[in-house]
């Protein structure tokens, strides 16, 4: 028996790890266990050591994904950030596995020679550090001779023009992930790339457009998996069978590949997944495809395939679990009695007409059913909805022409998308299983009371509700207390009447509420302030009244109350909305002045342009659904839908008065400012020139006076300007920016002058007169000069002529001179002729 010995990491490696920790920012204490007090660094989080030597072999610190309700992607506020020194990590002599993926590092420091561990690292994952500046990253990666796994997905590598050559020198590289890296060169003309061990390559969603399909990819003899999706590559697949012997995964979706699907695809005996959707493939589906007995997933939808598709194309697909099928000219010709050899979990059909294939009802394991761009008629309506309710968890029938009365339909799927059809009748019944429900852009009518007020007080799990753009009417019932899970509510563009019920305050998780363009009235209930997570509130185009008070929550980003009957002063509550980016209070009955504290809206102070989407994320079991929120805004005189963040203040068409506080011009991030059709007075300060990002400015129909500030000529992004119907005076500031607008931008300002107006300014008129007088003086001098010259010429002429005729010698000499001159000219003329 040997005595057991506890092996701990040595001081040198501990010091190296602490140096790494010192260089990074750790907001959530991921590295809190990394301390001198805990002597054994092999016990630190994310650190793994060899049991015998105690040497550090793995550093595994990926950031866990946390998807917020609002925002793009997942929340990284808890992730490691800052910079890290790769050179110091290479001092870990036996380090073979390094995973820092999904963090928020912004800089990699690398200098000096590679450490002793460089020959040991075989797994490197820096993926989805989206803000990482990684110039010349392949310089040191190409020296990691033992590297087998490399994932740099999500890192901006558009400056790396020689990425392929740098990676082909790695003899052991078998897995390569470069998804969404901004790469631009895919080397389409290169026939062979010297990857001797490469088995998995994923270079999807880059900037290769408009390159052709790379030849070298189809000559990788050891390859098992290829993903080139979302690259808009064009061209045709090779006619001859590539060097694929063991390929099991081929994903070419979302490109522009054309031509026929070659027969050799059916000879890839080990192929399990074939994804060719959303391309430009034409011709018929090759019969050889039916030989792929190992196929579990096939996606051919959204192409230009022709001919018939029938059971003959699927005779060997006993393992098929996912099928995507459909093109505008593809004819579904299945035997109505055919029972497939497969049981699908996922089915995507496009351009189906006139009815669904009957074999769908034989599928007993169907989890997802997606039918798009089809004109199907549900002949056996009850049968279809019962089939869906019994087993389909994710149902998407959006943008079809499906008819039918939904009044007696029970929806039981977790996700139900029925947007953009011809559905009619009342709202369907919804079971507690439904989490996402979109019935927008249909012809549903009647009351929503029976929908919102269940007979039984059963718990509902609905998080997303969109029944906008229908014909729904009557009042909103006071039953929101049964829907506490709701994050998103959209009831806009209906015929709803009455008030917002008090029970809206029970929705403590609510993120977005839109009641836009209905006939709702009364005061907004104070209970709305209990919705503390509310970010987007749209009550525009209704008949709401009363004051804008503290029912506005402080987390608001988008506040639209336009075209209502709100009255009173603009509350100083607005100044506490530090996250506010869009404020639209136009077309109401507001009075008083703009609060001077408006400079406290900090989200409008930044000069950095923000293109963040109004993005909502909803979790359904283990699936994450992300979608943009459309916002209807009136900017530049046009109603447009915006899906990205824009910073707007619109107070137009009210009864506001007084001078505009200078604090308003501290909001230097503003892109649109509309104060028109009010009673504002006073001068516009020079501070307006601070609004450098301003694209639209409307101050029309007020009582503004004084001169137009010269600083406005520096607003280089200004595309819309309206200063009409005020009392501005003086000359319009010179500069191409302000004088590039038409005179309509300045009309009805009687004391305003200068281009583009035709009215000449007094100072310009006086200057013009002075210049005209100077011109007249010059003309008189020139006239006397010309007169004197004429007199002088006449005097000289008659003097010479007199001398000729009165002096005999002179007369003879003169005529002799003329005769000689004539002879010389004639000789010259004859010579030229």
Write the DSSP string, 357-425.
-GGGGG-SS--EEEEES-----TTHHHHHHHHHHH-SEEE--SS--EEE-TTPEE--SEEE--SSEEEE
Q: Is the pLDDT of residue 821 over 90?
A: no
Residue 813: band (very low, low, confident or very high) from pLDDT cuts 50, 70, 90: very low
Q: Going edge to edge, which strands form the sheet with 329-332?
A: 234-236, 256-259, 280-283, 304-309, 329-332
- Encode pLDDT of 395-432 as tens digits: 999 999 888 899 999 999 999 999 999 999 999 999 99
What is the reported pLDDT for 69?
Answer: 63
| % of the chain beyond a pLDDT of 70 | 87
pLDDT of res. 275: 97
- DSSP-derived secondary structure for 155-184: S--TT-TTHHHHHTT-TT--EEE-TTS---
Average pLDDT, stretch 238-256? 93
What is the 3-state secondary structure of 90-109?
Answer: CCCCCCCEEECCCCEEEEEE
Lowest pLDDT segment from 409-418, 641-650, 792-801? 792-801
For residue 327, pLDDT beyond 90:
yes
- 197, pLDDT greater than 80: yes
Q: At CB < 8 A and 24+ separation, what contacts does 42-46 make?
A: 42/8, 42/9, 44/17
Query: What's the average model confidence in pLDDT over 193-222?
Result: 92
User: What is the b/e burial string over 43-80, where b = at least 16 CB atoms within 10 angstroms of the residue's CB?
Assistant: ebebbebeeeebbbbbbebbbeeeeebbbeebebebbb
Q: What does the mean pLDDT of the chain come to?
A: 87
Asked whether the predicted pLDDT for residue 796 surpasses 80, the reply is no
Buried b (16+ CB within 10 A) or exposed e, 740-766: ebeeebbeebeebbbbebebebeeeee
Mean per-residue pLDDT for 601-613?
71
* Mean pLDDT, rounded, for 547-552: 93
User: Is the predicted pLDDT of residue 135 greater than 70, yes or no?
Assistant: yes
Alpha-carbon distance values, 95 to 23, 26, 175, 564 (Å): 19, 22, 19, 66
What confidence score (pLDDT) does residue 65 get? 81
247: part of which helix (H) or strand (E)?
A: none
Residue 799 per-residue DSSP state: H
Phi, psi of 309 (to 5 degrees): -125, 130
Q: Which pLDDT score is estimated for 32?
A: 93
> 13 Cβ partners below 8 Å, 6+ apart?
41, 55, 56, 92, 93
Most confident of 357-371, 748-762, 800-814, 815-829: 357-371
379/372 Cα distance (integer angstroms): 18
Of 132, 190, 121, 118, give the one whose Cα is nearest residue 160: 132
- Residue 26 makes CB contacts below 8 A (sequence gap 6+) with 32, 80
Asked whether 212 and 233 are in contact (CB, 8 A), the reply is yes
Using a 10 angstrom Cβ sphere, with 0-12 exposed, 13-18 middle and 19 or more buried, the burial of residue 804 is: middle
pLDDT digits 0-9 by tens, 431-440: 999 999 999 9
Give one DSSP letter per residue of 188-212, joined into a string.
Answer: TT------SS--EEE--S-S-TTPB
Q: Are 59 and 35 in contact (CB under 8 A)?
A: no
Taking CA atoms, 175 is separated from 164, 201, 203, 215, 430, in Å, by 14, 6, 11, 19, 46
- 608 neighbors 633 (Cβ within 8 angstroms): no
Q: Which of 454-458, 626-630, 679-683, 712-716 has the lowest mean pLDDT?
A: 454-458
The stretch 91-117 carries a mean pLDDT of 81
- What predicted TM-score, i.e. pTM, was given to this entire model? 0.85
Q: What pLDDT digit, counting tens, does each position of 5-43 carry?
A: 566 788 889 999 999 999 899 999 999 999 888 878 999
- The pLDDT tens digits of the residues spanning 344-387 come to 999 999 998 888 899 999 999 999 999 999 888 776 688 899 99
Residue 545 has φ and ψ, to the nearest 5°, of: -135, -175
Angle between helices 762-806 and 808-832 (to 10 degrees): 110
Min mean pLDDT across 22-26, 93-97, 380-384, 545-549 is at: 380-384
Report the chain's C-alpha Rg in angstroms. Answer: 39
Q: Which of 64-73, 537-546, 756-765 has the highest mean pLDDT?
A: 537-546
pLDDT above 90 as % of the chain: 63
Structure tokens at 4: 């057991």
- The tokens describing 110, both together, are 């690398």
For tokens 């003879």, the residue is 812
- Amino acid 829: pLDDT: 40
- 118 vs 110: CA distance, rounded Å: 13
Query: Measured between alpha carbons, how far is residue 339 from residues 172, 311, 367 in Å?
Result: 47, 9, 18
Distance separating alpha carbons of residues 295 and 270, to the nearest angstrom: 8
| C-alpha span between 564 and 584 (Å, rounded) | 11
Q: Which residues contact 213 (CB under 8 A, 6 or more apart)?
A: 188, 228, 233, 234, 235, 236, 237, 257
- The distance from CA 231 to its chain's CA centroid, rounded to whole angstroms, is 17
Q: How far apart are alpha carbons 438 and 669 in whole angstroms?
A: 35
Confidence band (pLDDT; 50, 70, 90) for 752? very high
Residue 785: per-residue pLDDT:
47
3-state secondary structure of 572: helix
814: pLDDT strictly greater than 50: no
Nearest Cα to Cα of residue 411 among 394, 470, 402: 394
Q: Is the pLDDT of residue 784 over 80?
A: no
Q: Is the pLDDT of residue 760 over 50?
A: yes
Over residues 210-239, mean pLDDT? 92
544 membership: H or E segment, kind and range: strand 543-546
Q: What is the DSSP letter of 578?
A: T
Say whether pLDDT at 656 is over 50.
yes
Strand order in the sheet with 104-109: 24-25, 81-85, 104-109
Sign of CA dihedral 714, 718, 719, 725: negative
Mean pLDDT of 511-528: 96
Asked whether residue 56 carries a pLDDT value surpassing 70, the answer given is yes
List the Cα angle 428/431/432 in 5-degree steps.
140
Bridge partners of residue 705, in order along the sequence: 727
Structure-derived torsion over alpha carbons of residues 272, 278, 281, 285, reported in degrees to the nearest 10: 50
Q: Distance between CA 308 and CA 246 in Å, rounded? A: 30
Tell me the mean pLDDT in the region 179-204. 93
Q: How many CA atoms lie within 13 A of 36 on its CB side?
A: 3
- Cα-Cα-Cα-Cα dihedral sign, residues 751, 755, 757, 761: positive
Reported as a single tens digit per residue, the pLDDT across 687-720 is: 999 999 999 999 999 999 999 999 998 898 999 9
Burial of 119 (0-12, 13-18, 19+ CB in 10 A): middle
pLDDT of 831 reads: 36
Strands 394-396 and 582-584 turn out to be unpaired
SS3 string of 750-793? CEEECCCCCCCCHHHHHHHHHHHHHHHHHHHHHHHHHHHHHHHH
pLDDT per position as a tens digit, 475-506? 999 999 999 999 999 999 999 999 999 999 99
């Amino acid at each position: 028996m040997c005595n057991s010995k506890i092996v701990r990491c040595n001081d040198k490696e501990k010091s190296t790890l602490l140096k790494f920790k010192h260089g990074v920012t750790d907001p959530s204490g991921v590295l809190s266990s990394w301390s001198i007090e805990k002597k054994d660094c092999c016990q630190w989080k994310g650190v793994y050591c060899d049991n015998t030597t105690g040497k550090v072999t793995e550093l595994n610190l990926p950031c866990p994904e946390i998807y917020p309700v609002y925002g793009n992607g997942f929340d990284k506020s808890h992730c490691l950030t800052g910079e890290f020194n790769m050179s110091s990590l290479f001092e870990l002599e036996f380090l073979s596995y390094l995973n820092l993926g999904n963090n928020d590092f912004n800089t990699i420091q690398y200098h000096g020679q590679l450490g002793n561990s460089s020959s040991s690292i075989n797994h490197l994952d820096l993926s989805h550090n989206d803000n990482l500046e990684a110039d010349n990253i392949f310089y040191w990666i190409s020296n990691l001779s033992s590297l087998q796994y490399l994932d740099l997905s999500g890192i901006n590598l558009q400056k790396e023009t020689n990425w392929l050559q740098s990676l082909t020198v790695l003899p052991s590289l078998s897995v390569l992930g470069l998804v969404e890296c901004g790469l631009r060169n895919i080397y389409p003309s290169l026939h062979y790339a010297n990857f001797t061990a490469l088995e998995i390559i994923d270079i999807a969603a880059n900037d290769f457009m408009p390159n052709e399909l790379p030849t070298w990819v189809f000559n990788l003899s050891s390859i098992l998996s290829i993903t080139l999706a979302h690259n808009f590559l064009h061209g045709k697949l090779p006619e001859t069978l590539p060097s694929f012997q063991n390929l099991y995964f081929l994903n070419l979706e979302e490109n522009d590949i054309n031509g026929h699907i070659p027969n050799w695809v059916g000879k890839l005996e080990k192929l399990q997944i074939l994804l060719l959707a959303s391309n430009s493939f034409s011709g018929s589906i090759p019969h050889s495809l039916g030989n792929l007995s190992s196929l579990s997933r096939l996606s051919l939808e959204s192409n230009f395939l022709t001919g018939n598709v029938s059971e003959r194309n699927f005779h060997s697909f006993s393992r098929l679990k996912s099928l995507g099928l459909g093109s505008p000219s593809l004819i579904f010709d299945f035997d109505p009695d055919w029972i497939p050899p497969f049981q699908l979990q996922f089915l995507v059909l496009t351009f189906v007409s006139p009815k669904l294939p009957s074999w769908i009802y034989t599928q007993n394991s169907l989890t997802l059913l997606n039918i798009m761009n089809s004109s199907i008629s549900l002949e056996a309506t009850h049968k279809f909805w019962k089939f869906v309710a019994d087993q389909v968890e994710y149902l998407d029938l959006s943008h079809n022409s499906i008819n039918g009365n939904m009044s007696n339909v029970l929806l039981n799927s977790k996700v139900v998308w029925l947007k953009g059809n011809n559905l009619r009748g009342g709202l369907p019944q919804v079971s507690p299983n439904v989490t996402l429900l979109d019935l927008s852009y249909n012809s549903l009518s009647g009351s929503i009371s029976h929908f919102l007020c269940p007979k039984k007080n059963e718990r509902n799990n609905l998080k997303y509700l969109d029944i906008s753009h229908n014909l729904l009417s009557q009042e909103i019932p006071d039953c929101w207390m049964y829907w506490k899970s709701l994050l998103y509510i959209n009831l806009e563009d209906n015929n709803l009447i009455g008030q917002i019920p008090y029970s809206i305050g029970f929705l403590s998780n609510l993120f977005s509420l839109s009641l836009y363009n209905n006939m709702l009235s009364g005061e907004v209930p104070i209970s709305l302030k209990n919705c503390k997570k509310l970010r987007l509130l749209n009550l525009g185009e209704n008949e709401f009244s009363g004051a804008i008070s503290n029912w506005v929550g402080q987390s608001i980003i988008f506040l639209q109350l336009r075209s209502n009957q709100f009255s009173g002063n603009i509350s100083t509550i607005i100044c506490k909305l530090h996250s506010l980016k869009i404020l639209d209070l136009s077309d109401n009955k507001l009075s008083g002045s703009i609060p001077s504290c408006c400079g406290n809206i900090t989200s409008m102070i930044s000069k950095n342009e923000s293109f963040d989407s109004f993005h909502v994320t909803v979790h359904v079991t283990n699936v994450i659904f992300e979608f943009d929120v459309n916002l209807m805004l009136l900017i530049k005189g046009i109603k447009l839908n915006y899906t990205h963040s824009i910073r707007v203040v619109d107070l137009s068409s009210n009864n506001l008065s007084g001078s505009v506080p200078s604090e308003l011009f501290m909001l230097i991030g503003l892109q649109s400012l509309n104060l028109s059709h009010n009673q504002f007075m006073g001068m516009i300060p020079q501070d307006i020139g601070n609004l450098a990002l301003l694209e639209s400015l409307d101050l029309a129909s007020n009582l503004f006076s004084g001169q137009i500030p010269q600083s406005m000529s520096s607003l280089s992004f200004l595309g819309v300007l309206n200063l009409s119907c005020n009392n501005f005076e003086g000359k319009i500031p010179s500069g191409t920016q302000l004088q590039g607008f038409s005179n309509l931008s300045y009309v009805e300002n009687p004391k305003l002058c200068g281009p583009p107006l035709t009215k000449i300014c007094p100072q310009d008129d006086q200057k013009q007169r002075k210049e005209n007088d100077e011109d007249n003086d010059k003309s008189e001098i020139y006239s006397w000069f010309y007169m004197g010259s004429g007199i002088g010429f006449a005097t000289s002429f008659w003097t010479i002529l007199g001398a000729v005729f009165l002096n005999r010698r002179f007369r003879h000499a003169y005529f002799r001179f003329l005769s000689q001159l004539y002879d010389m000219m004639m000789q010259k003329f004859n010579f030229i002729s």
